[in-house]
Structures are given as structure tokens and as C-alpha cells.
Amino acid sequence: MRGARLLLSLAVLVLLWPATAVWADGPIVTFDGGQIFVDEDVSLVAGQTFDGDLGILRGNLTMPEGSVVNGDLFVTSGNAFIAGRVKGNLAILNGELTLTPTGQVAGDIFGLRANQDVAGQVEGDLTALFGNMALRHTALVRGDLLVAPGHLQREAGARVLGNQVYDLEKGLEQVPGQIPTPPAMPILPRPSHRATWRCEVGRFLGRVLAAAFLSLLSIGLGVLVAAIWPRPTRRVSDCIATWPGQSFGLGLLTFLIAAGLEALAAILIMLIWLVAAVLLGTVILIPLGLLLILLSPLLLLPVPVVLAGAVILGWVGLSDLIGQKALRLLKATGARPVGTVLVGLLLTVAIAALLWIVKPVCCAGPFVILVSSVGLGAVIHTRLGRQSGHAAAPPPQPEVLPAEAMEREAGQPDGPAL
């Protein structure tokens, strides 16, 4: 929505205050193209025109009928009463907005932790995040309407010409009789058998090209890993040969743990966004809130990156083991580790590519997960290929003499008599 662009522009404006602002004698900040009033109420008079952007921090705004603001308008920690015209976007954070029937906003209206009472005309989108909204019978919104999370009170006669979203759990809600219903689409004839056949051939060729590209990429990456880290690759391969069942189980468990960590990271991001929304309602902490919103998605990156690296190393180790067995059946000896890995990659990647071409979801997906689980478990067991995966040799047992020999030695001194 365009409201997101409004929020981003306000964020950039706040971050640029120290560089562009010139403090006057009073609580007024003058910057290029407008003014910001701090801890002061602003009241325009009927017929007055304010040129440029207008910002009010910790103050109230009153615009009577006939007043005009030629620019963007934002109010934080205050209330806005608008009966005039705003020839730009309007944003209100942590306050209340009243748009009378004579009030007009030429751009978008964005509210964060703000209650909005709209009875006028909005040319763009109308957004309310973490706040309630009341649409009066005289309200006209030419763009989209978003109220989430929050309560929407809508009177009969209020018009929204765009999409209306006010419940994230239900998704898009279109109220009958209040949002124009699109004309009925004509019933198109069913595609012919020839057209269907051509579509199927096109999808098949697309899967073939995708499988070929991914196969070449996987083989090249696997050979590179084997050439750079030959010892970790061989340790993973030996671990799979020694503990195949344990490697498979440990790999599946690692996938489940990674999924749980991603779910916790998503919940943590939501909590960070809630904290950032509270910080955006202040003045001094607005940059901190924006920084939290921008950096929070990085919490989702560590687990997939580490998991992808471990899966690649595990697949290469499994390919090394398969390549050794294949070359042994062909009675080919003297192959280098890179050669055995290449043979194993050609076999495993070819199977995965064939399954992807035939049935990408029900066949290729489970095969890749099962194969990756075996290699991933071996990588975890060998501590990313830094330890050996061989079974520890049993300690040497002391030699036990037969019963007859023990009887013959009974009574014999351990050493020469003095």
C-alpha cells in the first residue's frame, strides 16, 4: 500500500532532522520545505494556507473549514482535528484523528496506535495499525482500507472504493452493499485438448530446464566442497558407513529442531515489532523503533544458513560413500576423493532430477529430505567433519590362561629364589 511509502518517507525525514534542521528561538524546527512544532499546539484560521510540510510533535492540530496545508502532515503524541484540506499525505502516531465531513486529504492517511474518526474524503489509502477506526456515513475512501489489529465501526453509507481488510484472520472482507461489486465475468469456454496438451508440454519442459540447471549447480558446488575440504568429506562418509541408522535419525531430529528455532524466531520478530510500534509513538525513540523493524528479519537467517552448509557437506559425504561403492563394483581403483564424490553426485543428483521432472512435490521432495537427513546426521555426529566417525576400537583384554596351565603354575614362585 501507499501508506507504507508514507511511513518510510516519515522515517527518512526523522533520521535527517539533525542534518537539515535549524533551530529557531521557539520550539519550532525549520527544514527544507516545511516546519515542525515541538510541544506546541497549532491552530490554523479559516482561509489560511500553510505552504510546505507540517509536523507537530507532542501537540494538537486544529484545521477549520477553509484552511489548507500544501504538503504532507504528521502529528505524533497529539490529536488532529481536520475540517480543511490537506494536499498531501497525513500520518498520526499515538493520538486521535477527526476528519469532519468537510475535511479532505489528497493522499494517504496512516495511523499507528491512533484512533481515527473519518467522515470526510480520502483520495488515497486509509490505514490504521494498532488502533480503532470509525467510518461515518459521509466518509469516502477512494483507495484501500486497512484496520489491523483494531476495531472498525462502519456506518451505512460509508463508501470504500478499494479493498477492505480489517481482520487478518479472515483476510479480505468485502461488505455487501458498501463496496462496489465487480461485474460478473463471462463464462469462458473450456480449453481444447490441444491447448491443454501444449500447457502440459510447456510445464514439462520448464521442469526439465530447471532440473538441469539445479543439477549442474549442485554437482559443481559438491565438487568444489570436496576439493577444498577433502578430510571433512571423508570423515562424514566414514560416519555414514559406520552409523547409517543413527545418522538418519539425528538428521531428521536436526530438521525438526531447526523448524522449531525458526518458529521461535518468527515469534520473537513479532514481539520486536510490537516494541518498535510503541517506540514509534515517541519522538526521541522513533529512529530506534525503525532500526528494530529493519534489523529484526535478520533473526531468521542464521539457522537456514548453517543448516544449508551442513546439508551440502552431508550430501557430499554421502556421495563420496556411494561413489566408492560404485567404483568398487566397476573394479576401478586409484580414484581420488574428488572423483568418487563426482561419481556419487552424478548418481544421487540424477535420481533427484528425474523425480523432480516426474513428480516434483510427492517424489522429489521426500527423496531430498531423506537423503539430506542421512548426510546431515553424519555432519552433526562428526562435529562438522572435524572428528572421526569410526566406531571406537574395544580396549585390549588381558590374556586369560587355560585352567590346566593355571594349575601347573600354581605354587611356582614369580621369580628366582634368593
* Low-confidence winner among 111-125, 165-179, 212-226 (lowest mean pLDDT): 165-179
Indicate the average pLDDT of the chain.
79
Residue 17 confidence (pLDDT): 39
- Owner of C-alpha cell 538418519: 248
For range 252-266, the mean pLDDT: 90
Residue 82 confidence (pLDDT): 95
Chain-centre distance of CA 65, in angstroms?
45
Decide the pairing of beta strands 73-76 and 22-23. Answer: unpaired
Q: Are 226 and 233 in contact (CB under 8 A)?
A: yes
Contacts of 219 (CB under 8 A, 6+ apart): 342, 345, 346, 349
For range 148-165, the mean pLDDT: 87
Residue 398 confidence (pLDDT): 54
User: Distance (Å, rounded) from C-alpha 206 to C-alpha 277?
Assistant: 44
Q: Are 315 and 375 in contact (CB under 8 A)?
A: yes
Residue 284 confidence (pLDDT): 74
Residue 141 confidence (pLDDT): 94
User: Distance (Å, rounded) from C-alpha 306 to C-alpha 379?
Assistant: 12
**Between residues 277 and 319, the one the model is more confident about:** 319
Residue 171 confidence (pLDDT): 42
pLDDT at residue 114 greater than cutoff 80 = yes
For range 264-285, the mean pLDDT: 82
User: Distance (Å, rounded) from C-alpha 27 to C-alpha 300?
Assistant: 42
Residue 86 confidence (pLDDT): 94
pLDDT at residue 270 greater than cutoff 50 = yes
**Between residues 112 and 122, the one the model is more confident about:** 122
For range 91-110, the mean pLDDT: 93
* Low-confidence winner among 227-236, 268-277, 282-291, 301-310 (lowest mean pLDDT): 282-291
Residue 29 confidence (pLDDT): 57
- Structural domain boundaries of the chain? 2-172, 201-381
61-66 contacts, C-beta under 8 A, 24 or more apart: 63/103, 65/100, 65/102
User: Distance (Å, rounded) from C-alpha 145 to C-alpha 165?
Assistant: 6
Confidence of residue 352 (pLDDT cuts 50, 70, 90): confident
pLDDT in tens, 179-218: 444 444 444 454 455 546 677 777 778 888 888 898 899 8
At 31, phi and psi to the nearest 5?
A: -135, 175
Residue 286 confidence (pLDDT): 77
pLDDT in tens, 379-408: 998 888 888 765 444 445 555 555 555 555
For range 59-70, the mean pLDDT: 93
For range 22-36, the mean pLDDT: 55
Residue 364 confidence (pLDDT): 77
Confidence of residue 149 (pLDDT cuts 50, 70, 90): confident
At 299, phi and psi to the nearest 5?
A: -65, -20
